Amino acid sequence: MIKIYHNPRCRKSREGLQIVENSGKEFEIREYLKELPSEEELSSVIGLLKIKPIDLVRKNEAIWKESYKGKELSDSEIIKAMAENPKLIERPIVIHNNVAVIGRPPEKIQQIL
Instruction: List active site positions.
Output: 10
3-state secondary structure (DSSP) of residue 15: helix
CA distance 101 to 85: 21
Task: Describe the crossing of helices 75-84 and 39-49 by its angle, rounded to 10 degrees.
Answer: 120
In sequence order, what are the residues at sequence separation of 6 or more whose Cβ sits closer than 8 angstroms to the Cβ of residue 95? 2, 3, 4, 45, 48
Q: Quote the CA–CA distance of 42 and 111 in Å, as a whole number.
A: 22
